[in-house]
Amino acid sequence: MARKISFLNYKGGVGKTSLIVNTAACLAKLGKRVLLFDFDTQSNSSIWLLRLERWNKINASGEGAFFSIFDPGRARVKDLVIKDVVEDKNGQKALPGLDLVPTTFNLVDLESEFEGDPKRPPYVVFQEQLAEIENNYDFILFDCPPNILRASQCGVFVSNEIYVPSNPDALSLIGFTLLVEKLGKFHQLSASFRTASMGVPAQVQGVIFNSIKTGVDIEVPKMRMQLRMNQFRTAKRVAANAKIFDTQIRDAMIVRRAVTLGLPVLLVSQEGPDAAAAGTSDNVVSDYRKLAQEIVRHTP
Ligand SMILES: Nc1ncnc2c1ncn2[C@@H]1O[C@H](COP(=O)(O)OP(=O)(O)OP(=O)(O)O)[C@@H](O)[C@H]1O
Ligand SMILES: [Mg+2]
């Protein structure tokens, strides 16, 4: 059965997209079958993995984008999967095993204009359609915006696990706290739509620290995060084995560069000049690899 994981924090810009794209790439490199959903109107992971030219075509027509399962509602999730999405400069498949369901700017309409059927919220429609393909994958990952509005709800409803990317600062801690609160509310709201086969609602399994600068001591923010995690565990508001992941991702210029190149960091590092320019490339790649392995080992 596929492990379904949402990366979520109520704080924006903490690294949800960069973590999920690079972890997904490392999982695929490990031979796992991975499907990534982009649930953020900003379309960051879609633009990253498709590059602008391919993404622009989808954005112009809306065809092939996630919102099309709701409006006009003729497409199904299985029609939207872009197999082996990553291509090199020559248009050759560069990373077998990593598939993408892209989004475009029209996803914003899901939050406002879309009315749908009140008896079947968007997350129920999505859950039914995902069931048709989920057995094709080992990991299904959801890149969410910093909220639990309708698009994120699709990921949260079907997920078994939630990971919280964080920076070592007070605002990430606030984002984590707010997330746990809103998650509890959403699980209550959606409880009557759950079926037995879905298992229990997803809880926070861990916090992943991202963008850690060399020489900066993060012990104090880490301790504060750990204290909050302990409080939530005692109150049973996060998973019983929820933790701060051992692996943390260092701050490295190549992460930002990789977006421009339209490649996961793992593949940029194979390109000599960029790797050399970024200096620490190998190290940050090894962080992402370690994180992927830690996620594989983690049992919810
Ligand atoms: N380890 C890192 N080293 C250097 N820069 C990073 C790292 N991780 C993320 N960044 C940069 O930080 C910025 C925010 O990252 P990202 O887009 O992944 O965050 P996000 O949480 O998905 O944001 P949003 O809430 O807008 O979706 C980006 O410019 C990204 O390139
Ligand atoms: Mg993002």
How far CA 103 is from CA of 75, 162, 170, 287, 288, in Å, comes to 13, 21, 31, 27, 24
pLDDT tens-digit map of 78-105: 999 999 999 998 999 999 999 999 999 9
Q: Residue 216 has which token pair? A: 């900066």
d(CA 14, CA 210) in angstroms, rounded, equals 7
Return the ligand 1 atom nearest residue 287 CA: 1
Residue with tokens 């993408």: 100
Residues lying with their CB under 5 A of ligand 2, a single-atom ion: 16-17, 44
pLDDT tens-digit map of 256-288: 999 999 999 999 966 555 444 554 445 899 999
Q: What are phi and psi of 111, to 5 degrees?
A: -85, -20
Mutation pick for ligand 1 pocket among 9, 17, 212 (CB with most ligand atoms within 8 Å)? 17
Q: pLDDT value at position 271?
A: 52
Nearest to 43 by CA among 121, 123, 101: 101
243-244 and 203-209 beta bridge pairing: parallel
Taking CA atoms only, the protein residue closest to ligand 1 atom 23 is 13
Q: Which ligand is nearest to the CA of 210?
A: 1
How far CA 246 is from CA of 206, 292, 295, in Å, comes to 10, 12, 10
Q: pLDDT value at position 300?
A: 84
Q: CB under 6 Å to ligand 1: residues?
A: 12-18, 40, 42, 44, 145-146, 210-211, 249, 251-252, 255-256, 259
Give this prediction's pTM: 0.96
Average pLDDT over residues 139-158: 98
d(CA 288, CA 290) in angstroms, rounded, equals 5
Q: pLDDT value at position 299?
A: 87
The domain spans of the chain are: 3-297
Taking CA atoms only, the protein residue closest to ligand 1 atom 14 is 13
Amino acid at 131: A
* 247 has pLDDT over 90: yes
Average pLDDT over residues 156-178: 97
CATH superfamily for 3-297 is: P-loop containing nucleotide triphosphate hydrolases (3.40.50.300)
C-alpha 65: how far from its chain's center?
17
DSSP 236: T
* CA angle centred on 293, ends 163 and 210, rounded to 5°: 45
Q: What is the 3-state secondary structure (H, E, C) of 102-155?
A: CCCHHHHHHHCCCCCECCECHHHHHHHHHCCCHHHCCEEEEECCCCCCHHHHHH
Q: pLDDT value at position 280?
A: 43
User: 19 C-alpha to center of ligand 2: Å?
Assistant: 9
d(CA 186, CA 288) in angstroms, rounded, equals 30
Taking CA atoms only, the protein residue closest to ligand 1 atom 3 is 251
Average pLDDT over residues 69-73: 93
pLDDT tens-digit map of 200-245: 999 999 999 999 999 999 999 999 999 999 999 999 999 999 999 9
When the pLDDT of each residue in the chain is averaged and rounded to a whole number, the result is 94
